[in-house]
């Protein structure tokens, strides 16, 4: 008998265990990672399809929504949602109610794309804003003209930065009004906060550029503003991707910068740190392990995301190197991913051709196992 019990506990899969750490109280350790799906209206209002999409995936311990602009100025891609108008707040409330009704938890990801933008994708006049007037190499999709070079950004003046940070504070307040359980700052993948962190996109000579302390300032002040808006840092998370070169980012000193960032934000008591261990492009080699790096320096809960399957996720949890595991692409085609993991059922493969196309196809029409 004793032997059997021992065996059972060794075989236990941590992925399915509830977690209560800090402010997180989740039914399992499976996180639906943030994914831009470009199904909102041109004014950034999530459609009713989003209500169905997120509700279908509410078995996850935690859902992190698609990147959502804190202000119209934060938009870079077509048909991404916002969190800055009454219509957007009302539409998001339908999403959070549907997820909560199915026993799920959901946080909003705030994404300001900075220089990763094209004017045709934006509802505001003028160039996108960035730490410096350095155009990002590469192209992005526009509905009107297809692939286009990224627009040339305008450098933010020092005295403008507080108002950009304040947009994050207001969007955090709006997200909680819409019923979200928390808000994640998108500080990864080459968008505005990471453009401040990285030396190739941040050529500033004021207090937001130059030294590590100065380049980290935007992220730290934004987190403080969001915590202020939420009334507590325990409802705020941060996503980072140390060493990721996606969106034309080159970091000169990630092994110094990220430990400094972790050390400085530890006293805030954030809900979690979300570490993406590789970009969307699996071929991008990373010279160090960003999850291990952040585990060493960050004292709160860690979500690790990037290329995991059930076994590798359980293994990382068992080794204590992360507290939760994020899955992005597996959740696209498997709304019942948690159940499939539990039963060992095969996973359906997502179709990248419909990742960002409008409408229900490739969004809410992937069947659950029993219907497949």
Is residue 335 within 8 A of residue 57, CB to CB? The reply is yes
* Least distance (Å) between residue 124 CB and ligand FMN: 20
Of 26 and 155, the one with the shorter C-beta distance to ligand FMN is 26
* Least distance (Å) between residue 7 CB and ligand FMN: 30
* Least distance (Å) between residue 264 CB and ligand FMN: 21
Residues that bind ligand FMN (CB under 6 A): 33-36, 66-67, 109, 111, 186, 188-189, 239, 276, 280, 305-307, 327-330, 355
- Residues with a catalytic annotation lie at 191
Residue 251 CB contacts under 8 Å (≥ 6 apart), including other chains: 197, 198, 199, 200, 242, 243, 257
Of 70 and 209, the one with the shorter C-beta distance to ligand FMN is 70
Of 176 and 347, the one with the shorter C-beta distance to ligand FMN is 347
In this structure, what DSSP letter does residue 345 have? P
Specify the 3-state DSSP secondary structure of 256: helix
Place of tokens 């085609």: 333
Task: List phi, psi (to 5°) of 153.
Answer: -85, 165
In this structure, what DSSP letter does residue 172 have? H
The CA-atom distances, in angstroms, between 187 and each of 79, 83, 197, 289 are: 21, 17, 9, 17
Is residue 235 within 8 A of residue 183, CB to CB? The reply is yes
Taking alpha carbons only, the member of 335, 293, 356 closest to residue 58 is 335
* Least distance (Å) between residue 356 CB and ligand FMN: 7
* Least distance (Å) between residue 337 CB and ligand FMN: 10
């Amino acid at each position: 008998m004793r032997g059997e019990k021992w065996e059972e506990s060794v075989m236990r899969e941590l992925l399915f265990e509830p977690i209560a750490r800090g402010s997180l109280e989740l039914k399992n350790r499976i996180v639906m990672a943030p994914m831009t799906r470009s199904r909102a209206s041109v004014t950034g209002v999530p459609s009713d399809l989003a209500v169905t999409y997120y509700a279908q995936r509410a078995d996850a311990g935690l859902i992190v929504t698609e990147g959502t602009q804190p202000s119209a100025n934060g938009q870079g891609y077509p048909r991404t949602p916002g969190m800055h108008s009454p219509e957007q707040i009302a539409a998001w409330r339908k999403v959070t109610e549907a997820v909560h009704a199915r026993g799920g938890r959901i946080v909003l990801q705030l994404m300001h794309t900075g220089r990763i933008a094209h004017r045709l994708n934006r509802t505001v006049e003028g160039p996108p804003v960035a730490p410096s007037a350095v155009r990002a190499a590469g192209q992005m999709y526009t509905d009107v003209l297809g692939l286009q070079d990224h627009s040339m950004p305008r450098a933010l003046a020092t005295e403008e930065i507080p108002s950009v940070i304040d947009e994050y504070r207001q969007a955090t307040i709006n997200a909680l009004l819409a019923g979200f359980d928390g808000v994640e700052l998108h500080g990864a993948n080459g968008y505005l906060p990471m453009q401040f962190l990285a030396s190739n996109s941040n050529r500033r000579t004021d207090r937001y550029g130059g030294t590590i302390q100065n380049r980290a300032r935007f992220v730290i002040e934004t987190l403080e503003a969001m915590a202020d808006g939420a009334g507590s840092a325990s409802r705020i998370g941060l996503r980072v991707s140390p060493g990721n070169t996606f969106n034309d980012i080159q970091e000169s000193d990630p092994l110094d910068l990220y430990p400094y960032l972790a050390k400085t934000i530890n006293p805030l008591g954030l809900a979690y740190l979300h570490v993406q261990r590789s970009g969307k492009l699996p071929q991008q080699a990373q010279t160090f392990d960003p999850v291990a790096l952040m585990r060493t320096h960050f004292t709160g809960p860690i979500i690790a995301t990037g290329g995991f399957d059930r076994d590798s996720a359980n293994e990382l949890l068992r080794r204590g190197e992360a507290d939760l595991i994020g899955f992005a692409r597996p959740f696209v085609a498997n709304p019942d991913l948690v159940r499939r993991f539990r039963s060992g059922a095969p996973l359906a493969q997502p179709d990248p051709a419909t990742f960002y196309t409008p409408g229900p196809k490739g969004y809410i029409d992937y069947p659950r196992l029993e219907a497949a």
